[in-house]
Copies of this chain bind each other. A is one copy, B any other.
Amino acid sequence: MKLKHGIYKIDNLSLNNNDLIVNEAIFHNANGYIGIRSNYEEGYPNTYDSIRGSYINGFYDIADMRQAEKLYGMPEVKQTMLNVADTQTIYLSIDGEKFSVFEGTTLYSKRFLDMEKGITGRRIVWRSPQGKEVEINIIRMTSFYQLSLFTIEYKVKALNFKGDVEFLSYHKSEVRNYSNSDDPRVAKESTCYLISKDKVIDEKMSFLTSQTRRSGLSVCTGVNHTLSKAGSIHTRMEENNVVTSIQTSIDQQEEIILVKYSVFTDSIGQIDCLANAKEKMQMALSIPLEEHYKEQRRYLKKYWENCLMEIEGDDDLTTAVNYNMYQLIQSVGKDEYCNITAKGLSGEGYEGHYFWDTEMYIEPFFNLTMPSITRNLIGFRYKTLDKARDNARIMGHTRGALYPWRTIMGTECSGYFPSGAAGYHINGDIAFSIISYYLTTKDLDLLVEKGAEIIFETARLWLEIGNYYKGTFRINEVTGPDEYTCMVNNNYFTNVSAQYNLRWAKKLYYILEEENKLAFIADRIGLSEEEIKEFDKAANCMYLPFDDELQINPQDDSFLEKKVWDIANTPKDKFPLLLHYHPLTLYRHQVCKQADTVLAHFIFEDAQSLEIMKNSFDYYEKVTTHDSSLSTCIFSIMASKLGLEEKAYEYFGDSAKLDLFNIHGNTKDGIHTANMGGTYMAIVYGFAGLRIKESGIYFAPVIPKQWNKYLFRINYEDSQIEVEINQRESKYTLLKGSPKIIHDHDNQYNLEDSIVLKKGEQ
């Protein structure tokens, strides 16, 4: 299998600062454990803004988060993802002239990401101020095969001269996090969180260990250099940084290659990170770079086989969709120690925190393509369940668990609780995602081990926060997905997701009982059938706001009573609204940052009639700004469901190209991982209409008129199914596994080999 449109490249690179800083994120390398921003090895002029960073997923320090007014239970510290080291800095000099694209003449330049090979590259043909011409090819890789490893292969070819070549290669452990005091979405203060500890250096190799100031963690980076020909290699300390000088000569048309390996280890997984780094470096050096490249291709071959997706009729879109899926595998943690941050490992936006994005936007993708990843993500939530229990106590609940709105290691890190800790739906989201994993894989073992306990504990919390009023069960003072309306009563999304959580807690109880697997869990958390009956009662009495007149579900009890925001007459430069209006101004209006009730209608479609969903879609569309990157993909999905194909396609485009085209203007701070999952969902759940329910798997495919065909593969239970939709027919092929009953629109088919359904004939 060859991945179509698996390369994203930019020719004739601009030297515009804004483009460069966006490209740092766009072309970053990551493997779910480490992430390196694609900064130019040789740096930028001093006046340029750049976020030079290397990150480890889940590695954090504690930072102050003082409250302007101290109130009970508000966190006063948070976890923050650290820039751990700089191992990407390499200065090149030819005959004493320092290479920089900001001097001399760039005759050719290109940057690319190869998603099949799992590498990024730069190619530059450069004429120095003195007229010496070189061709430079730099390949970078963060290895999926060895997660600790980051490689730079730096090739220099002398085109019109012979002379001396010098590389000055840096290994810096004294680095700071990026800051911008004006943007609420990145850190306000530039802080150096790491204290240098051990330094071990020899001629070609160096290991620097640092300790965090407050979290008690350590990180070690090891660097090794290999030159393709004889030369001198000298390493020295420059304050706390290691500088390796590599000198050699070059002939005309000769190419010399410097290979720089960096390994990253931290004390979360293995306490002695220095010893571990040394070991990891030995492991890296034990096979040649070519072998590492091969392993990378092998890993990705399997990945693309699982998540293959092609769109015929729009190559850019296929590239964008591939790009998004590539970023997901780059970003997602590969074990239970970490998760997937809102910005992946591509930048410091949202400080490396994990949100509901994981469950609602990213797991749906992995469930269908690589369910082992979902297992890790659920495992992470299970590992932090005790912290969620503690959090529930802080929030005044005597039973159950309440997951934090944003976190790295499990405690609440939101500084502004109305759009942070008040987002109780995080509990419903996590429960929902576990059930989705189960429905897709039928893997009951994971539920027995981890998932069921989470579902019971989150269900308990709804009883704690909710109360009965006039015979209905109400949930007051929470914030739904839409952060432009906070601390409301009976947010439709929250209530319907609580209902689902409670109902599944009951179902699971009896499933586990049936399987003789209940006793251990029930004993451990003191769960009785009595409590299950309370779950059931609350679920059945759950109040779901409904407006008789408009025949829609109001977002919450008072949403419809508020003034409608005049979106059309709001100046373009006032978006996103949150940067230009006081929260109270937003809360007082009917205006949504993102899909909220519309998301609920997608996720819990059986709770309402199509008619109500349609009315609601029309209503909310008019009051939604899509200031959140989590919004357009959901509107696209619902538009598909409701037969609004033009709209579905338009929303989908906004979602798919968000980062590659920097549509939100903040890709410099990192990619938007949730939206990337959302793009996938917009195709699979949107256009193809996939739903996986207790009763089976359903498709209801439509195809945008701009496309000739689209195709994707999904895993379902023990099988892999390929779905191919063109303007005339839908084709379902069983690639692997046992035959399956599938549904296309309202019809049921037994998929044993391949089924072709002509349009209008389903």
Contact = CB atoms under 8 A, between A and B. Distances in A.
- Across the A-B interface, the 9 shortest Cβ-Cβ residue pairs: A68-B415, A396-B585, A73-B582, A69-B415, A69-B416, A467-B563, A70-B184, A477-B588, A65-B68
A302 B73 CA distance: 50
Q: How many copies does the complex hold?
A: 2
Interface stretch (A22-30, A305-313, A417-425): A417-425
17 contacts: A65-B68, A66-B68, A67-B416, A68-B68, A71-B582, A73-B583, A74-B582, A394-B582, A395-B585, A417-B582, A417-B584, A467-B563, A476-B562, A476-B587, A476-B588, A477-B588, A486-B487
A294 interface: no
A74 B70 contact: no
A73 B476 contact: no
Interface in A164-212: 181-184, 188
A581 interface: yes
A561 B68 contact: no
A558 interface: yes
A588 B469 CA distance: 13
Given A562-B476, A563-B467, A72 B581 contact: yes
Nearest to A188: B70
Pick from A420, A477, A560, A562 the residue with the most CB of B within 10 Å: A477
A744 to B, nearest CB: 45
A563 B469 CA distance: 8
Given A467-B563, A561-B489, A579 B72 contact: yes
A465 interface: yes
Interface of A: 65-76, 181-184, 188, 394-396, 414-418, 420-422, 465, 467, 469, 474, 476-477, 486-487, 489, 557-558, 560-563, 578-585, 587-588
A578 B67 contact: no
A489 B485 CA distance: 13
A66 B487 CA distance: 23
Contact of A184 (B69, B396, B578): B69
A715 to B, nearest CB: 39
A561 B477 CA distance: 11
Contacts of A584: 395-396, 417, 421-422, 477, 487
A181 B420 CA distance: 24
Pick from A394, A416, A469 the residue with the most CB of B within 10 Å: A416
A560 B474 CA distance: 12
Contacts of A422: 584
Contacts of A582: 71-74, 394-396, 417, 421
Contact of A588 (B71, B414, B465, B583): B465
Contacts of A578: 71-72
A204 to B, nearest CB: 45
A365 B183 CA distance: 47
A489 B487 CA distance: 11
A408 to B, nearest CB: 16
Contacts of A70: 181-184, 188
A469 to B, nearest CB: 5
B72 A583 contact: yes
Nearest to A466: B563
Contact of A583 (B71, B181, B183): B71
Nearest to A543: B561
A588 B396 CA distance: 11
A416 to B, nearest CB: 4
A71 B557 contact: no
Contacts of A421: 582, 584
Contacts of A395: 582, 584-585
Contacts of A68: 65-68, 74-76, 415-416
Given A72-B579, A487-B487, 11 more contacts: A68-B76, A70-B181, A70-B184, A71-B578, A72-B578, A72-B580, A73-B581, A395-B585, A474-B561, A489-B558, A557-B558
A557 B562 CA distance: 13
Nearest to A577: B72
Contacts of A476: 558, 561-562, 587-588
Contact of A561 (B181, B418, B469, B579): B469
A68 B174 CA distance: 26
A641 B396 CA distance: 38
A73 B579 CA distance: 9
A191 to B, nearest CB: 14
A90 to B, nearest CB: 36
A415 B67 contact: yes
Contacts of A72: 578-583
A211 to B, nearest CB: 26
A373 B489 CA distance: 44
